[in-house]
Structure 1
């Protein structure tokens, strides 16, 4: 057992995190880097193979999760058969989820988190904080601040938005060793994800509407019949032997309340889970963990900042979910051959509202500044409704304000504003270019009004 891993957690940590997936691990590393004591409680999950986007792995790299990045390996080639056309898209990293989770826990321990293995049966809240206990009543961990990061297994909070009920039915096969690769293909009543690892393991996952789910007793026979009817899927596992029965999991897109209070927060899939077609799952979990670290740090140092933190968390959660939903929607609408079939019709019509937009101008928003959440003036555009605080480390609103000192011409502007803001002229020039491109500084000569 690692010297930072224990089976029972008795000391009160600053933060207690339940769940050792990407969101919980990245948050643990961020908080320990900020000087907080963290206890992370985790339990085994069922085996699965998963595809990670390139930017999800880059997010793990940015968080210092070197073991997880190594476990992700090199990206696999990926092809897509969609709407009658075959295309090659950016690769994805194919991972055995148990191996990835083990690597993530090593990263958490390396960052200074204390690990506890066990299944949480109940949470107890006292005057000094929270305790997680197992079915025998043994304490697994305790902390003054609680973070729920157990994904879809977490006790449900009220749903704010829910997509069409979606199920993923997968089965693992084993065959001859071969090339690393993946594929996605659409069919009349859903779509399939195919994956192959060099050790010979292969996966066929069928994504279908919840209304079409076969009885659990017939799940494997149903999966076998669908695979046999899809030439690409049948060819993918030709000569392979099934390693077990087909298994089903919920893949419905759902956004819940992050439930942020002065001492509690939900992150990752416990706050929102996305449709697998969006490809944003792990990426969104990692991005959410970075934001959550600032939320926890702010509340720990200034509980009176809770209103701003709550606004930030709610807005960030809704934004990440909306972008993932929009990405999935675009793929669903791109398949036109079966647009009248229930599976495709429901998903092409969801989400019912387009991505939020905002009028061009200056607004006050809760943003992350030096690992804290503060309200600052930001510049918003229809395409960037949450606003932009800074470009290359140069805050945009103070840059606009610095131009009030008087008109300037040509190359003098970046140098003069740089002196005023104590910023290198090169960085200021890049920020000025962004202002020009986004209509805040027509011609680079005058300051617009909000």
Structure 2
């Protein structure tokens, strides 16, 4: 669970005009503002639960209005506009559910995890976890021998997405240099850890291992290429299983790792056309899988 965060969202109505949006950092949090062409406005203030000096609920409307009117960047969004109703307070805390898969159920989207909105990946996360769900569900229902494999597949991917988005949010927070010691920013610039978003890959850190993948609508185990930046493993690239090709190149070693020899090996061993072999070899080198 991330640092406890709350967002105050209020709808406003103004005259019709140009649509637009902006995000702005302030000492105790950040603001998001959006305007639709029909005059509807959405103004949101996100603050730290532990350190925010919020008024009683009945005074939140005046509080939010005063906060936005005090910011120059908010002027286009509040000019000639009025609040509609009361502000809505919602948690924006990043949360990973302890259990996301059972013998006959799985969690997807926000039921599995909620990411910090500043990571900008909430919709992607929901769709991404939902896209893998049919294969996981089908395996749980029809391939009981692979129940544990399907659960492992779904759980690891949810956890991987959560930590990836948490680090994206962390790096956004770390870019704000004006108030590094302010409670809101200090608590978020180092969570969840100090690991880089993209881990450095070197040929000696790349290995072939068995891992769960989606194949024909089921979760099965195949050889995949595991790297520090792709810990879940890479199975296919452009419809090709990459693990056996990488293993073949490494077994031959030496001259086989040279461009022409490597292309020839892939063509002869795996029946690839020269251009496709060249593209695959270039991609492996770009990923630092090969010297």
Is residue 329–residue 350 contact of structure 1 (8 Å, CA) maintained in 2? yes
Is residue 332–residue 348 contact of structure 1 (8 Å, CA) maintained in 2? yes
Cα deviation, 1:84-129, whole Å, max 9, x if unaligned, reads xxxxxxxxxxxxxxxxxxxxxxxxxxxxxxxxxxxxxxxxxxxxxx
Cα deviation, 1:208-258, whole Å, max 9, x if unaligned, reads 111324332222121112112222224421111222211111111011134
Cα deviation, 1:1-30, whole Å, max 9, x if unaligned, reads xxxxxxxxxxxxxxxxxxxxxxxxxxxxxx
Is residue 219–residue 247 contact of structure 1 (8 Å, CA) maintained in 2? no
Structure 2 counterpart of 1:163: 2
Any residues of structure 2 matched to 1:19-30 within 5 Å, and which?
none
Whether 1:292 and 2:141 are equivalent positions in the alignment is no
CA distance in structure 1 between the aligned counterparts of 2:216 and 2:196, rounded to whole angstroms: 28
Structure 2 counterpart of 1:210: 49
Is residue 7–residue 92 contact of structure 2 (8 Å, CA) maintained in 1? yes
Whether 1:378 and 2:219 are equivalent positions in the alignment is no
Structure 2 counterpart of 1:14: none
Measured at CA, do residues 225 and 410 of structure 1 come closer, stay the same or move farther in structure 2, by a change above 3 Å? closer
Which of the pair is proportionally richer in helix? 2
Helix, strand or coil: the match of 1:226?
helix
**1:172 aligned residue (5, 8, 11):** 11
Whether 1:341 and 2:168 are equivalent positions in the alignment is no
Structure 2 counterpart of 1:302: 143
**2:157 aligned residue (316, 329, 345):** 316
Is residue 418–residue 425 contact of structure 1 (8 Å, CA) maintained in 2? yes
CA distance in structure 2 between the aligned counterparts of 1:423 and 1:326, rounded to whole angstroms: 38
CA shift, 1:383, in A, is 2.3
Cα deviation, 1:117-167, whole Å, max 9, x if unaligned, reads xxxxxxxxxxxxxxxxxxxxxxxxxxxxxxxxxxxxxxxxxxxxx111111
Q: TM-score, normalised by structure 1?
A: 0.58
CA distance in structure 1 between the aligned counterparts of 2:135 and 2:116, rounded to whole angstroms: 27
CA distance in structure 2 between the aligned counterparts of 1:301 and 1:426, rounded to whole angstroms: 41
Is residue 255–residue 271 contact of structure 1 (8 Å, CA) maintained in 2? yes
Any residues of structure 2 matched to 1:99-114 within 5 Å, and which?
none
CA shift, 1:387, in A, is 2.2
Helix, strand or coil: the match of 1:387?
coil
CA shift, 1:312, in A, is 1.2
CA shift, 1:336, in A, is 1.2
Measured at CA, do residues 348 and 410 of structure 1 come closer, stay the same or move farther in structure 2, by a change above 3 Å? closer
Helix, strand or coil: the match of 1:376?
strand
Whether 1:364 and 2:210 are equivalent positions in the alignment is yes
Q: TM-score, normalised by structure 2?
A: 0.87
Is residue 2–residue 192 contact of structure 2 (8 Å, CA) maintained in 1? yes
Is residue 100–residue 154 contact of structure 2 (8 Å, CA) maintained in 1? no
**1:261 aligned residue (102, 112, 129):** 102
Whether 1:395 and 2:244 are equivalent positions in the alignment is no
In structure 1, list runs of 5 or more residues that go unmatched: 1-161, 443-450
CA distance in structure 2 between the aligned counterparts of 1:432 and 1:369, rounded to whole angstroms: 24
**1:430 aligned residue (264, 279, 282):** 279
Cα deviation, 1:53-105, whole Å, max 9, x if unaligned, reads xxxxxxxxxxxxxxxxxxxxxxxxxxxxxxxxxxxxxxxxxxxxxxxxxxxxx
CA distance in structure 2 between the aligned counterparts of 1:251 and 1:441, rounded to whole angstroms: 42
Structure 2 counterpart of 1:231: 72
Measured at CA, do residues 371 and 430 of structure 1 come closer, stay the same or move farther in structure 2, by a change above 3 Å? farther
CA shift, 1:313, in A, is 1.3
CA distance in structure 1 between the aligned counterparts of 2:231 and 2:148, rounded to whole angstroms: 20
CA shift, 1:423, in A, is 4.4
Helix, strand or coil: the match of 1:298?
helix
Structure 2 counterpart of 1:123: none
Is residue 94–residue 116 contact of structure 2 (8 Å, CA) maintained in 1? yes
Any residues of structure 2 matched to 1:120-199 within 5 Å, and which?
162-199=1-38
Q: How many residues are paired up?
A: 281
Structure 2 counterpart of 1:46: none
CA shift, 1:194, in A, is 0.6
Helix, strand or coil: the match of 1:377?
strand
In structure 2, list runs of 5 or more residues that go unmatched: none
Measured at CA, do residues 431 and 298 of structure 1 come closer, stay the same or move farther in structure 2, by a change above 3 Å? farther
Cα RMSD, aligned residues only: 2.4
Which of the pair is proportionally richer in strand? 1
